[in-house]
Amino acid sequence: MPPLKAFADSVECFEHYRKVYCSGPIPTFDGIMVRFRKEDFLHCFFESSNRDDQKDTFSTRRAERIDWIKAALQDPKAELFAGWDRKRKIHDRDRRVCVVSGDYVVIIALTDKDKAYIITAFVIDDPRVLESIKRSPKWK
């Protein structure tokens, strides 16, 4: 994986995100073109301070791995799983969960067979989350 990056604050991190990810789609190793919108920055680099799903705290842990997102998407050795739809409580093959380096996750949502957008990226801090992901069906 690429080296960790240090940012002075969320503004500096956002500028890097905008330049690297929002200027055009990032291709995955298998040809899916992943788009990144400016508003997706919040989901990728902020965390909830009280686990209520309200992302309100800039995460330096997530931010320092900003370049891992592209590397994970382009890693042909990444473990790929079907995503989970919380509302419908089923596995959803239109969501792809990519696991690299043992505990780093990137989730994308497919809009077509070769187009997607980013949902989020994070380091797993609870082994039960990793176990749950790995019990999901393999993504094909």
pLDDT at 50 exceeding the cut of 90: no
* Domain that residue 102 falls in: 10-134
Q: How far apart are CA 97 and CA 92, in angstroms?
A: 10
Tokens of 54: 């309200």
- Which residue type occupies 62? R
Number of domains, the chain: 1
The answer to whether position 3 is within a domain reads: no
Percent of the chain with pLDDT over 70: 96
The answer to whether position 55 is within a domain reads: yes
Q: Which helix (H) or strand (E) holds 77?
A: none
pLDDT per position as a tens digit, 88-134: 999 998 999 999 999 999 999 999 989 999 999 999 989 999 999 99
Q: What is the mean pLDDT of the chain?
A: 93
pLDDT score at 57: 86
pLDDT score at 53: 64
Contact call for residues 114 and 129 (beta carbons, < 8 A): no
Helix (H, G, I), strand (E, B) or coil at 101: coil
